[in-house]
Amino acid sequence: MADPALSHAPQPEGATGVLVLADGSVAWGRGFGAVGSAVGEVCFNTAMTGYQEVMTDPSYAAQIVTFTFPHIGNVGTNAEDMESHDVPGAVGCVVREDVTAPASFRAQGTFPAWMEKHGKIGLAGVDTRALTRRIRLSGAPNAVIAHDPKGQFDIDALLEKARNWPGLEGMDLARIVTRDGQEEWQGSVWRLGQGYGRSPHDKRPHVVAMDFGAKDNIFRNLVKAGAGVTVVPAETSLETILSLNPDGVFLSNGPGDPAATGAYAVPVIQALLERDVPIFGICLGHQMLGLAAGAKTVKMHQGHRGANHPVKRLEQGVVEITSMNHGFAVDNASLPENVIETHVSLFDGSNCGIAIAGKKAFGVQYHPEASPGPQDSFYLFEKFVGMLG
């Protein structure tokens, strides 16, 4: 279903960017950032801050982010707000207003220049409310975003590209965004005027973190909670993980279909569960923990992406304000008897947390390291590290 605000109208004068949806709808605007075209799934994010973190989150790989907050880019960019380095994140973004000059003492550059440097395409001047409404009514569409300063576009070719893209369902993207080798994590949390701290060298519980497209701030929060962290690639074998003598294993966030990534990751997780190794999963890691326990995952209609999602912690009856970014979810109707649902979304009742009875294993769908609330969810890191004893 095409929204009337996303029309098949001819290119208006001055348009240097375009978004072409697979259903034939077209949104014209002013391009910025990298020149060229990129294909992906269009989603929307309702956060009012953190656009640089969003664009560098590997979980957004193969996605085009529509920001519902109109003033994106107004605080510029800086090296400290990167959630990953040299790893594919979102391929592009769509914004309402033209990007203005930075208005932050932390800015080291402009958003358009940063987008260009990192090969990401931006499109400004779009009715993002109409695009968001389109996604809410009809689901997240496949599309191509394109930028040409001369305004020369082959719409038929872009439409064919959007229609031929297979979509995220069944797609394993963790292989693309994971790190190449093992890494001893060194960083700690950021403080104003001090930057990022260093991980202490005292004897700490040892966490092996499986990187399926991890955000760096997760590892910093594990260090803050008292752990030492070794990060390993997504396809690391059980034997290699056990050789590192972990006190616990962390399953990171990441992009794509959890069932596809789970083809190689789930057997490793199941073997760790059989050995009673403590496990904590976030987002994709949470979904794969659910798969390992016998549950199923499903593709969501529009997904959850923003920094203000209310989640109910069922045992205590309290509500956490959370940050989310996921287009798949654990199907709570498929949970086996030994899997306890611990958290649910107050937006739609979807699963946001599980624990496995008789095991030191739990996961949450949201992102506690993003500091919504801002400290509502840090207890999860403390809970996990407290299990490692």
Q: Which residues are catalytic?
A: 283, 367, 369
Burial of 73 (0-12, 13-18, 19+ CB in 10 A): buried
In the sheet where 351-356 sits, what is the strand order?
183-184, 228-233, 206-211, 248-251, 279-282, 361-364, 351-356, 339-345, 297-313, 318-330
Under DSSP, the state recorded for 91 is S
Report the alpha-carbon distance of residue 275 to residue 386 in Å, rounded. 18
d(CA 2, CA 4): 6
Show the DSSP H helices in 72-154 as ranges.
111-117, 128-138
CA distance 227 to 229: 6
Q: How far apart are the first and last CA of the chain?
A: 54
Query: Which residues make beta-bridge pairs with 344?
Result: 312, 351
H/E run at residue 329: strand 318-330
Instruction: For residue 65, give the 3-state DSSP assignment.
Output: strand
Tell me how far apart the alpha carbons of residues 160 and 162 are, in angstroms, rounded to a whole number.
5
Amino acid identity of 125? G
CA distance 324 to 345: 10
